[in-house]
Amino acid sequence: MMWRRHMKLAAMVVVALIGSVASADVLLLDYQMSQAGPQVEHASVEGGDLTAGNGLAQFELNNTGTPHSSKPVLTIRPDGNNTFTGNAELDTLSIGSEDQQYFSFTMTVGANVTDLDLTEISMNVARGGASNSRKTGFYYKLNGSFLAESNMLKNYEPAVTSPNWNVLSDDLSTISAYQNLVAGDVVEILVPYAVSGAGNAHTFASLHFDDIQVRGEATIIPEPTSLSLVLLGTLAIARRR
């Protein structure tokens, strides 16, 4: 009789655990450069490689020749083989189909995740030099489609040059499409390059990036191994009583 009660207690504990485990706000991905993949990757997601669009002449992931203390950094420049004129094209999202002056990465929600709510994206960005204005931002896709244009963070112009950093961040908790993500969902973030005025005249104007971070709250189904350990532990405690 006693043993049956213990088994029941253990089963109840396991059922409660199977209901999944929610995390507090955590760092999901952190790209620190020197390599295409993220240096930090939370167990709930898989971070894809930083990838250049075809409109970049320079996409240097391991740039150690900058004065930034956090080097290596990522340095990009446009190729000039286009008519990218900045704001107008940023506003119409044509970066994806025409000029491709951007870099991007994906984040795939893991199979063990029942719910993922994105909270924030942030990165360090700086102009390589003082001349010309050059702009960037965050464009958002989910499962291959751009989110509503109103969700994009556009036309951000870094105010300082190397070796200083500007921190560009965006509150993702206000983007409904990035809440309640489930296993297999693919988030894609595009970081565009734009200049004010004719793009062809600014092929020398670089932007530096570092520490691209995505944060969120993940609800994860415990792995079978840890579940088994909890079950065994519960049984052991129950037997000792």
Kindly state the helix (H) or strand (E) to which residue 153 belongs, with its residue range.
Answer: strand 153-156
CB of 118 to Ca ion, least distance (A): 23
Q: Is 32 in the site for Ca ion (CB under 5 A)?
A: yes
Task: Pick between residue 65 and residue 184 the one whose CB is nearest to Ca ion.
Answer: 65
Bridge partners for 207 per DSSP: 76, 127
Which residues have C-beta within 8 Å of that of residue 211, sequence separation ≥ 6? 30, 31, 32, 70, 122, 123, 124
Task: Pick between residue 72 and residue 86 the one whose CB is nearest to Ca ion.
Answer: 72
The one among 79, 89, 99, 210 contacting Ca ion by CB under 5 A: 210
CB of 33 to Ca ion, least distance (A): 4
Bridge partners for 122 per DSSP: 169, 213
CB of 170 to Ca ion, least distance (A): 20
- E-assigned strands of 19-144? 21-22, 26-31, 40-41, 45-47, 51-52, 56-63, 73-78, 102-109, 113-127, 134-142
- The site that binds Ca ion (CB under 5 A) totals a number of residues, namely 4
CB of 168 to Ca ion, least distance (A): 16
CB of 31 to Ca ion, least distance (A): 9
Q: Is 30 in the site for Ca ion (CB under 5 A)?
A: no
Q: Is 70 in the site for Ca ion (CB under 5 A)?
A: yes
Q: Is 33 in the site for Ca ion (CB under 5 A)?
A: yes
Task: Pick between residue 75 and residue 100 the one whose CB is nearest to Ca ion.
Answer: 75
Task: Pick between residue 212 and residue 220 the one whose CB is nearest to Ca ion.
Answer: 212
What DSSP assignment string belongs to 158-212?
Answer: ---BTTS-EEEEEEGGG-GGGSSB-TT-EEEEEEE-EESS-GGGGTT--EEEEEE
Binding site for Ca ion (CB under 5 A): 32-33, 70, 210
